[in-house]
Amino acid sequence: MTTRIDARFAELKQQGRSAFVTFVMAGDPDAKTSLDILKALPKAGADVIEIGMPFTDPMADGPSIQAAGLRALKGGMTLRKTLAMVRDFRKDDNATPIVLMGYYNPIYIYGVDSFLADAKEAGVDGLIIVDLPPEEDTELCIPAMKAGLNFIRLATPTTDDKRLPAVLANTSGFVYYVSITGITGAATADSNAVSEAVARIKRHTRLPVCVGFGIRTPDTARAIAENANGAVVGTAIVDVVRGSLDAEGRATPKTVPAVADLVSTLAQGVRGAKQAAE
């Protein structure tokens, strides 16, 4: 079965370039602005969109993304509303892949089966769930595959050759390589170490490999995109959202254009890269 994610990576391969993957937090700073940001992303150059599902206790995220999640929750964001937002986005865009990223508890409480059915119906293509390693595949990964959603797994610098096959076994769509040991927004990715790691992963899989954590500038994005099939930027975008808010934390007329500007600058970085080796 070909998913939107498969189709998008096939298309990019034909064009000879890597993907630019953007991360935004659902409902940050409010539901309407968040939908407007979402709609602006493809036009600004995003090839794949990751949407954060806000959670009170995001253990693998740094202060920026944590704060974005709390802003969204304060504005009344829920998992149900996140799915509604994807449904609205799909009215105008049936091609850009949407990946939901977050933690397991809100999904577990929603109910795995109803969540998967509703997510699929809303137009979600894949899931990245930070706290579900392969050891817990029966929880969500296997049911998601059966429901026709890609389950995208994180590989990290601590995932050695011995463990990689377990991590890749039920992964589909793409592999997300976390370029640092650490939380989002902390260190800067070292493109040499990353290119070695990507080459290592590619010895084990034919799936595209996208790299995230620690990419903030067009130059880093370009350097990463030369070696990987995609570069993911999250914290830098979330920081621009925060920087555009008024003193009470509300969206301003600057919010959506500021995000679009940053995304197009970063997209130019990615598009300037040579095609990643297959």
- Which residues are catalytically annotated? 50, 61
Which residue in 14, 92, 135, 146 binds another protein (CB under 8 A)? 135
Which residue in 42, 62, 75, 212 binds another protein (CB under 8 A)? 62
133 binds another protein (CB under 8 A): yes
Query: 167 to each of 10, 17, 127, 229, how far by Cα in Å?
Result: 23, 26, 15, 18
Shortest distance (Å) from residue 152 CB to another protein: 12
Rounded Cα gap, residues 82 and 137, in angstroms: 24
229 by DSSP, 3-state: which? Answer: coil
What is the contact mask toward another protein in residues 204 to 243, using x (rule: CB under 8 A)? ----------------------------------------
C-beta neighbour count of 121 within 10 angstroms:
12
Which residue in 46, 152, 154, 224 binds another protein (CB under 8 A)? 154
Rounded Cα gap, residues 220 and 113, in angstroms: 39
Which tokens belong to 62?
A: 């740094």
Shortest distance (Å) from residue 74 CB to another protein: 11
105 binds another protein (CB under 8 A): yes
Shortest distance (Å) from residue 198 CB to another protein: 16
Indicate the residue among 136 and 219 with the shorter CB distance to another protein.
136
What is the dihedral sign for C-alpha 214, 123, 15, 155?
positive
**Look-up of token digits 């902390």:** 186
Q: Are the beta carbons of 147 and 26 closer than 8 angstroms? A: no
- Residues lying near another protein in the complex (CB under 8 A) are found at 55-60, 62-63, 66, 73, 78-80, 103-110, 130-136, 153-160, 163, 167, 178, 181-183, 186
